[in-house]
Amino acid sequence: MIYRKATFKDVEAIHKLVNDYADKGLMLPRSRNAIYETLRDVVLAEDQGEVIGAGGLHLIWDELAEIRALAVVPDRTRGGVGGRIVGMLMDEARELGVKTLFTLTYQTGFFASLGFREVPKEELPHKVWKECINCSKFPNCDEIAMVKEL
């Protein structure tokens, strides 16, 4: 198993991973365009040449970043892969000087186990909502905001 930054060759695997979950309503869908534009955000787990998990660290504002588009293939969940990916994203965030990490998620148990706490969405700065206008759920967002101070 290796954990590494994503490259162009990984785009199709990331697209399938995220959108298979999106089809089940567990994540927001992501276009190839969005994946290309944020490819430098992404850390992934690879096992025997297969991408088995991925997640992104997206910079939002001064000392503020988001963990987004995190997914592990269904038959490899609960094996520590998601936690390890978030751990790597947190290391990268610390190196960049990020002080506050947040996520919008349905997986509160997973993020709580990594030290995130639930907060009212209104506590997040307005800049966070810039991309929501493009979301199919806008304006009825049912994701839960969680925050971790680094």
Q: Could you list the residues that contact ligand COA (CB under 6 A)?
A: 21, 26-27, 70-72, 77-83, 103, 105-107, 109-110, 113
Task: Report which residue's Cβ sits closest to ligand COA.
Answer: 82
Quote the least distance from Cβ 78 to ligand COA, whole Å.
4
Nearer to ligand COA, 19 or 103 (CB): 103
Shortest distance, position 113 Cβ to ligand COA, whole Å: 4
Min dist CB 62 to ligand COA, Å, is: 23
Task: Find the DSSP H helices in the chain.
Answer: 11-23, 32-37, 81-96, 108-113
| Integer angstrom CA distances of residue 53 from 57, 101, 106, 124, 125 | 14, 20, 17, 27, 29
DSSP string, 42-69: EEEEEETTEEEEEEEEEEEETTEEEEEE
Q: Which two tokens stand for residue 92?
A: 């990268």
Residue number, 31 or 62, with CB nearest to ligand COA: 31
Q: Which is nearer to ligand COA, 73 or 97 (CB)?
A: 73
How far is CA 40 from each of CA 58, 79, 123, 139, 145, rounded to the nearest angstrom? 9, 25, 27, 28, 23
- Both tokens assigned to 24: 């089940």
Closer CB to ligand COA, 62 or 115, in the complex: 115
Q: What is the nearest approach in angstroms of ligand COA to the Cβ of residue 145?
A: 11
Closer residue to ligand COA, CB minimum distance, 49 or 109:
109
Task: Tell which residue, 60, 53, 15, has the closest CA to residue 36.
Answer: 15
Least distance to ligand COA, CB of residue 125, Å: 19
